[in-house]
Structure 1
Amino acid sequence: MIARMLPLMLAVCLSGCAANPIESQQRLHHLVVVWLNKPGDESLRQRYIDESKPLAELPGVLAYDVGRPARVKRRHSRSVLDESYDVAIASVFENQAAFEAFLKNPTYGRIAKDVLRPMVEKYQVYDFVE
């Protein structure tokens, strides 16, 4: 009996392990933190910011904000505040499919690979859904 049910149990497990259909319809937030290959170089930082702005116009992008670290005075411990990066980009997409289409867009590919990445030493990406 168990041997006959094993394929059914496996199919149920695999379908439950697939991407959450509700999650795929939620807005996706994409945060990228960038350290430039010339840290602190204001002209390079501004160039990166300016060259990335056309990405805001691509299909599926609901919001696109790019800037430098804020020098904000805080009352809590400064040990949790990371100001070591040069640029951060916070973007919002309609859903996961829109984000995936954005990543496949030839304009994104050209700007990211040919224009932005040559300026970058390292970067960190954080994605989350609402």
Structure 2
Amino acid sequence: MIRRLLILSAIFLSGCASAPIAQQPRLHHLVVVWLKQPGDASLRQRYIDESKALAKLPGVLAYDVGTPAQAKQRRGSAALDESYDVAIAGVFENQSAFETFLQHPEYGRVAREVLRPMVERYRVYDFVER
């Protein structure tokens, strides 16, 4: 009887140990930026170069920065907006990692002192994977 109980306990515990832990969904952070000097190639490049350091902060899985694609096949589409100067697409481990990123002193410094002074306006779109 005791032996049977020990075997059943071992089976139960080993099953629990191998059960997958539910992961929180990754968070995607999209930012579309219009600069104070629209279309200025050197300002666009400066914004891109200065923001790349943020890719190295904890919790960031991907951090891509670029300019509007010249999508010829879609020109004239009411949905296509090429009026912006720069877009950022960041992927974070989860909501908590993103919130930690936003509180990081280096993010605060770069955003406040370097990037925002170049920006006329911006839009942010955040979503979690489902």
TM bracket (short chain): 0.7 to 0.9
Change (3 A) 1:75 1:55: closer
Give the structure 2 partner of residue 44 of structure 1: 43
In structure 1, stretches of 5+ residues that fail to align are 1-21
Q: How do 1:17-36 and structure 2 match up within 5 A?
A: 25-36=24-35
TM-score by length of 1: 0.80
Question: Quick one: distance in 1 between partners of 2:118 and 2:92?
Answer: 25
User: Displacement of 1:76 after TM fit?
Assistant: 7.7
Give the structure 2 partner of residue 67 of structure 1: 66
Give yes or no for contact 2:32–2:87 (8 Å, CA) kept in 1: yes
User: Displacement of 1:26 after TM fit?
Assistant: 0.6
Q: Secondary structure at the match of 2:121?
A: strand
Question: Quick one: distance in 2 between partners of 1:84 and 1:31?
Answer: 16
Structure 1 segments of 4 or more deviating over 6 A? none
Question: Quick one: distance in 2 between partners of 1:75 and 1:42?
Answer: 23
Give yes or no for contact 2:29–2:125 (8 Å, CA) kept in 1: yes
Structure 1 counterpart of 2:50, one-letter code: E
TM-score by length of 2: 0.80
Structure 1 counterpart of 2:78, one-letter code: S
Q: Secondary structure at the match of 1:25?
A: coil
Give the structure 2 partner of residue 14 of structure 1: none
Give the structure 2 partner of residue 95 of structure 1: 94
